[in-house]
Structure 1
Amino acid sequence: MKAVWNAKVGFGLMSWAVASYAVTTAMFMLIFFPILPLVSYLAGWPFGLSILISVMFFVICNFAKRDHKVSISIVPEGLGFCDEAAGYERQDLIRYEDIQSIRVRRNPFFRSLVINLKERNQRFSLSNVLLPDNFLAGIHAHIDVKS
């Protein structure tokens, strides 16, 4: 079993970010290069709100996209953490006896898998995760048996 980056949610967030940027750009063009007399309607809080929403979507999109080359798989000795992003390329084995807790953190847009280790206060995470149905149950069964 393997936990991977959720492409459907990631690309959905990216499309919303681009759409909000397009609306903000259109408003900017209508305000500063007036073709129609819409400046009094679009200037002020509508334009500010549009900028705020665009910034929020791009920040959320970057958080959702940051782990697109990360995968976590269950292996007999523990969990295999693999990051294939350029410049990060690493593969770690997380032994079951080293795991303090594993949980799925949810926010309004995507889920994140967080693995805390007992020693060295180390944390592994995978943002915007797509989990198989029994992934967490399988890990908790191994952790309980090893403890």
Structure 2
Amino acid sequence: MRAAADDKFVIQMIAICWLRIARVPHVAPRRHCAGIGGAVIIKKELYMRSTRLIQVAIIFGMASASAMAADTFANGQSFYGQPAQQAAKARVVDVSTARHLNVAYGDTVTFRSEGKEFSWTFNGLDRRPVDLAKIAPAGFTGKSLNVYVAQNPLNRN
């Protein structure tokens, strides 16, 4: 959900910068081209155009960098929590029978599917659904399962 909002923002920023580039004429009108002054105007307009192109390139680069790490904080931690060691009191969920799952913030859940299992502690961002495919190890399951994380009790809003 957040990635889609970030992508929309980046697309809007690129469109704004591109419109600014399009407004800068690449050739000065003939009345300004007479003598040395006309050459200065053309150079200034080309400089403005190249500056806008550089701005668009920087914004596009930042967007692609944020898209690569869309599900992590700046310190490298996942938005959704962290892998956990399998504990005796962890909640066990069979992925093949569940359609969705509600968990409290900070809960540790062990997911099982076709003889494979992994544990996850949901202590990242609260009040948002987590797709199991984003946190599961590669090749865990092909089934889609949404995990809904409740609000962190320390958050008042």
Pairwise TM-score range, normalised by the shorter structure: 0.3 to 0.5
Q: Which has the higher contact order (CA 8 A, sep 6+)?
A: 1
Q: TM-score scaled to structure 1, two decimals?
A: 0.37
Greater fraction of residues in strand: 1
Greater fraction of residues in helix: 1
Q: Which has the larger radius of gyration?
A: 2
Q: TM-score scaled to structure 2, two decimals?
A: 0.36
